[in-house]
Amino acid sequence: MRTERTQVAIVGAGPAGLLLSHLLHRRGIASVVLESRSREYVEQRVRAGVLEQGTVDTLVEAGVGERLRREGLPHHGIELRYGGRGRRIAFEKLVPGRRITVYGQQEVVKDLIAARLADGGPIRFEVSGVAVHDLDSAAPSVTYTGPDGEPVRLECDVIAGCDGFHGVTRPSIPDGVLTVYEREYPFAWLGVLARVRPSAEELIYAQTERGFALHSMRSPEVSRFYLQVAPDENLADWPDERIWEELRARLETVPGFTLATGPVIEKGVTPMRSFVVEPMQYGRLYLAGDAAHIVPPTGAKGLNLAVADVRLLTEALVSWFSTGSAALLEGYSAACLKRVWRAQHFSWWMTTLLHTFDSDDAYGRRLQLAHLDYVTTSEAAATTLAENYVGLPYESDPHD
């Protein structure tokens, strides 16, 4: 078995792992990123597309925001559509100077991969058999098999688990260490990517008796749509014609709005889940992003939480490697979870506000409509939605 050595072994080449590697490199700390998929797969998989203000600022400050600034679509509000009318939540009025930017997660990944490879950063794609060892020791390691079939032991000081909900790092923590908080929802999202110009300039969140729908976009020529469906929905039962028919039924509910249609590029069904593990660390293993927490996509927080985790982990590792102080590393989980639980609540709130839980529950339906009326007519309530949606500012010293 060949032996390699680095300071930080990063499992997973999603946004969390790649950004962590890039930020550490800029601070003089070496890392190796391990990824089971190919570069082509990682760069093409469609995921989130709404970036908080703080996420955009982080990418720009890290020197990987040039294309984001050029091609990203800044948005200063969203529309809540229900009861035959649409009400706009105006970010520019409610949270001046803060906004969201629509820019696909796969584009963030492409930018980060290009930056790491340009810097000579080692990203090992198409590895298999990844396993982590000796997490509670001062000399952890990761073993894997390269695409050429050669077994490798990667010795390191720290392991970062950035390998998502189904990754290998979190299950490697001994039983009884983690507390799991979880909630599954009685519906899923049918996501559709279509080559058609967006029918609106901003995102539309539609609440109807037929179920929830979301009109979003990825570029001036590509639109993204979501439909609330059953959790066990069979994708084969949703030909393109049925998708467009249902989107029209849920979105064409206000006078003058016509949904533009076009070729469907991709579609898939995503279950809705809330999930958090505490703590987000064990020994020399530190979890970040989806490896530690999942939120329903309604609040657009998944990618943004991963960036917030990585910011904190970077500062903690820089402090430890430069001064020997483990104070920030020891407080990493608690610092992350403050933001994670705020985002969990916001995502749960948006989900319960906009989705149909029981079509026969007339009382629940009336409660939703009353709450939507309050959110769209009360400046205080609208401000709460706006400031959480664009992302709360990072704390100046979040480890306190």
Residues tagged active-site? 75, 205, 297, 301, 389
Looking at residue 58, its amino acid is: T
Burial class for 295, CB neighbours closer than 10 Å (0-12, 13-18, 19+): buried
For residue 279, give the 3-state DSSP assignment: coil
DSSP character at residue 309: H
* Phi, psi (rounded to 5 degrees) for 327: -60, -45
For residue 272, give the 3-state DSSP assignment: strand
For residue 205, give the 3-state DSSP assignment: strand
Contact in structure between 384 and 240 (CB atoms under 8 Å): no
Residues in the chain: 400
Cα–Cα distance between 187 and 228 in angstroms, integer? Answer: 7
Cα–Cα distance between 199 and 222 in angstroms, integer? Answer: 10
Between strands 151-155 and 8-11, the pairing is: unpaired
Contact in structure between 42 and 127 (CB atoms under 8 Å): no
Residue partners of 110: CB distance under 8 A and separation at least 6: 43
Q: Which tokens in the block code for residue 93?
A: 């009025």
Burial class for 90, CB neighbours closer than 10 Å (0-12, 13-18, 19+): middle
Between strands 100-102 and 141-145, the pairing is: unpaired
Cα–Cα distance between 257 and 192 in angstroms, integer? Answer: 20
Helix axes 15-26, 302-323, angle to 10 degrees: 30
Burial class for 250, CB neighbours closer than 10 Å (0-12, 13-18, 19+): buried
Contact in structure between 211 and 233 (CB atoms under 8 Å): no
Q: For residue 291, count other CB atoms closer than 10 A to its CB.
A: 30
- Element (DSSP H or E) covering residue 225: strand 222-229
Looking at residue 390, its amino acid is: V
